[in-house]
Amino acid sequence: MKDFRNKKRDKKKQDDKFLKKRKKYCRFCVKEVDINYKDLELLQNFTTDKGRIRTRNSSGNCAKHQRRLIAEIKNARNMALLPFVTE
């Protein structure tokens, strides 16, 4: 019984070795797009349905552009172009 469990674990570890995750890249570095608070379509791509700002891990942005993106989203919210919270 003990050997059977170990074989299952070993096989699972081998299967995980072959799974490759897609590398995320910063859209702003690649396309050299300027981040602006007036571009609502672009900013909405980086917010969730509830209105939260997506993290760097989920959006794939570099640190420099993520900071700039957050500042522009906040500017758009203060100008009432984007909602703070959606229901």
9 located within any domain: no
Q: Is residue 6 part of a domain?
A: no
Domain that holds residue 51: 21-87
In a domain, 16, yes or no: no
Provide the CATH number for the domain around residue 76.
Answer: 4.10.640.10
- Identify the pLDDT of residue 13: 60
pTM as predicted: 0.72
What pLDDT does residue 22 have?
A: 74
* Rounded distance between C-alpha atoms, residue 18 and residue 58, angstroms: 22
Reported as half-sphere exposure (CB side, CA atoms, 13 A), residue 36 has a value of 5
pLDDT tens, residue by residue, 5-64:
666 566 656 666 666 777 778 889 998 889 999 999 999 999 999 999 999 988 899 999
Neighbours of 76 (CB within 10 A): 20
Asked, for residue 12, whether it belongs to a domain, the answer is: no
What confidence score (pLDDT) does residue 87 get?
A: 75
CB 65 within 8 A of CB 28: yes
Asked if 70 and 53 touch (Cβ cutoff 8 Å), the reply is yes
Can you give the pLDDT at residue 23? 74
- What pLDDT is recorded for position 70? 96
Which position has the token pair 């379509």?
41
The total domain count for the chain is 1
